[in-house]
Structure 1
Amino acid sequence: MLKTIFILLSIFPFQLLLAQSSQLSDFPKGYTPEEVGKRLAYRFVDGKHALHAGKWISYPETFNWNGALQLAKITKDKKLFKLLENKFEPLFTTEKELLPIMNHVDLNMFGSLPLNLYQMTKKKKYLELGLPYADTQWEVPENGKPAEKEWADKGYSWQTRLWIDDMYMITIVQTQAYKVTKDRKYIDRAAKEMVLYLDELQRPNGLFYHAPDVPFYWGRGNGWMAAGMTELLRNLPENHPDRQRIMQGYHTMMKSLLDYQTSSGMWNQLIDQPDCWAETSGSAMFTFAFIVGVKNGWLDAEVYGPAARKAWMALVSYINDKGAVREVCVGTNKKNSKQYYYDRPRNTGDYHGQAPYLWCTVALLEK
């Protein structure tokens, strides 16, 4: 009898681990990351450019491209990868004028895309194109404003503006530069910048104001912060002096997001407002942060695994039969008006929403 009890007790932890892992792996038909990812990635291949100010490749398109590339890599879909690389090729020739200039946080982040391609292909042309976007983020232009020079003198990017969106835009290109060069300065920059934003913008409840003068918990803005911390922590050395502070900020935010997740599995356009509408892009970014946190052991799998699964199942229901995500808040500048966030238009197929869905598919497929 005692021997039987011992065997059962020894098996139980394994069964529990198996049950936890199945939360993020066993999905019904139509909800698997392979199916969803393929629908969204191939849709992007045929999609038109989404230009910033009508001139340059925009950050939503860049992030969608990166997500599709990572999906092609993890699923070993050579056809998809070739189509995505072919889509990029005209940016060296006939579409060269669409390459973003290097004078704004939303434009410099484009460098993360060629740096991503360099990691996959080792083609030097991608490195040569991408690295200047990371470098110029810390090089004040000759006509730089006094405030920009002041940030630079303190060791921060001159593009610092204390909008929560920045903590994906800045950290992603610096992190990619670190991955391809192994030069510690890039990851140190990203970590230093993240700590600044945590100190300045994170509230006691773990969420973030859109900016110091805009005291509202906007969904996608907080999503950029959640995804930015997640990506940075995945690449930040374990012994880095800023890792503990960033992990603390991450945990505080994840706990709050768990509390504010609605019964449907989604999060609202204004996270703390129950009467606000469910918004997909921010919800997908939070789901991404949960999935990666569980898989890396940063979050309690028993608690966050079911929450991530519930969110994913809800998110997939917002994809229409053309592979376009519904209920995506349009591009949004800061404004000190609560009603402004309630009234933001909602798009279908907007790259702001398509991209984080792809990040989720890749995170779910990662071991």
Structure 2
Amino acid sequence: MKNTTKFMALFAIALGLSTTACKNAKENSKETAVVEKIVPENLKWSERMMLSEIERFPEASKLDFVDKPRWSYTNGLVLSAAIKVYEQTNNEKFYDYTYAYANELVDSTGSIKTYKLSDQNLDMIKSGDVLLYLYSKTKEERFLKAMEILNSQMESQPKTSDGGYWHKKRYPYQMWLDGLYMAEPFHIRYAQEFIKDEAKKQKIYDDVVLQFDLIQKHSRDEKSGLLYHGWDESKEQKWANKETGNSQHFWSRGMGWYGMAMVDVLDFLPENHPGHERIITYLNQFAEAITKVQDKSGLWWQVLDQGDREGNYLEATGTSMFTYAFAKGVRKGYLDKKYLEVANKAYDALIKDLVSVEENGIVNLNKCCAVAGLGGNPYRDGSYEYYINETIRSNDPKGTGPFIMASLELNK
């Protein structure tokens, strides 16, 4: 009987140990499943963010938190970054992701789904950069035809009395800083690669440079060197100063678009064109003004010159754009090397303060202004309160794209 009791006791202990072991094994296996990395952490930030974007938006046509595929500037922005990462890594996943966007939205005749030429909307030109790249790789005729449609928009785009492109047909007589990045890098590269007539090509170069000349003339504040978000030649908009036509504030991302436009257009504007040196001058003025309003943290404020005024916040998309523009400007020899320190300080602050990494390796860029514009319906009055109260979200493509490009420029 004693032996039986002893055996039963031993059996109970063994069973308990076995159950504990099974429980521990299950817990360990759960832990392993939780920390399985979707995005490896031993990659560079550019690749990690691009892989995170693909995980968030498996279809590139829905990159900007939308339900239906659409042709838009945000897709072109992130996919331009994807192309640069692909060129660095030779990871076909990035090329396939980019190709799938154009394949879905450009049909066999070259028509672009969801795009309307009659809207005369400069934002819609940006994704043409993707077609420029894909056509060079694939020689698919439909991509060339789609680019011809986009270029025809530039030829018919309404203009101010001195030749500045309206931002959109429904925003008459208005030039916005955004528009220079949306349209001019495509316009000048298309001219360089596809316009055979030398006189026509030179006219496009002149038109591209004129946009920068006019923005400097109409939108730059002489005292601070910063540029106002928008300018209304008619001075009829409620947001426009009745004397100057300018909007009220210096918006971080607006100036970010402008900085990126300059460094990207200079890639294709011939050095012997008189506008080449002028744009470099504008870029240096821009860099000086932007550096003066950089926060001690290294980041930039949503409303650039309002510092820590109540409601203002340190914003990710503008900061990423400035970082890219400065880093590229130095690399290309347009800017003094001191601006590389500014770029590195900004980038380090982005990683420290505005980037978070999930347990599975997914990278997030936080504190992005979702959108900001002028006029429209409901009406956007361009006030300080307007800019600080627009939606703030994580992983806005207007931040992730420039973050990836800045990461590549700084080789982080």
Same fold (TM > 0.5): yes
Alignment partners' CA distance in 2, 1:240 and 1:52: 41
- Measured after TM superposition, the shift of residue 306 of structure 1 is 1.6
Q: Which stretch of the first structure deviates more once superposed, 243-252 or 50-59? A: 50-59
Query: 1:349 pairs with 387, 395, 398, which one?
Result: 395
Equivalence for 2:139: 122
Superposed displacement of residue 304, structure 1: 1.3
Cα offset for 1:173? 2.1
For residue 193 of structure 2, the aligned residue among 177, 180, 183 is: 180
In the alignment, does 2:111 pair up with 1:75? no
Report what 2:244 is aligned to. Answer: none
Higher mean Cα deviation, 104-113 or 51-60? 51-60
Counterpart residue number, 2:314: 278
Q: How many residues align?
A: 328
In the alignment, is residue 319 of structure 1 matched against residue 365 of structure 2? no
In structure 2, the partner of 1:253 is 286
The answer to whether the 8 A contact 1:74-1:365 is kept is no
Normalization by structure 2: what TM-score? 0.72
Matches within 5 A, 1:190-339: 190-204=208-222, 205-212=224-231, 213=240, 214-275=247-308, 276-301=312-337, 303-317=338-352, 318-320=354-356, 321=358, 322-334=362-374, 335-339=381-385
* Structure 1: tracts of 5 or more residues without a match: 1-28, 141-147
RMSD (Å) for aligned C-alpha atoms? 2.8
SS across alignment from 1:234: coil
Whether the 8 Å CA contact 2:187–2:204 is kept in 1: the answer is yes
Provide structure 2 residue ranges, at least 5 long, that are not aligned to the other structure: 1-40, 168-172, 196-200, 232-239, 241-246, 375-380
> Alignment partner of 1:332: what SS?
coil
Q: Are the counterparts in 2 of residues 113 and 130 from structure 1 also a CA contact under 8 Å? A: no
User: Which deviates more, 161-170 or 124-133?
Assistant: 124-133
Report 1:23-102 matches (<5 A): 32-40=44-52, 42-43=54-55, 46-47=58-59, 48-50=62-64, 56-93=70-107, 98-102=113-117
Contact 2:355 2:365 in 1 (8 A): yes
Displacement, 1:53? 11
Structure-2 separation of matches of 1:250 and 1:30: 35
Instruction: Sort the Cα spacing of 1:171 and 1:150 in 2 relative to 1 into closer, same or farther, 3 A.
Output: closer
- Cα shift readout 1:74-107 (whole Å, capped 9, x = no counterpart): 322223212321343222359x774422221122
Distance in 1 separating the partners of 2:99 and 2:156: 30
Residues 119 and 180, structure 1, Cα contact 8 Å, conserved in 2: no
| Corresponding residue number in structure 2 for 1:361 | 407
Is 2:182 the counterpart of 1:169? yes
TM-score for both structures, normalised by structure 1:
0.80
The one-letter amino acid of 1:211's match is G
CA distance, structure 2, for counterparts of residue 298 and residue 97 of structure 1: 36
Aligned position for 1:21: none
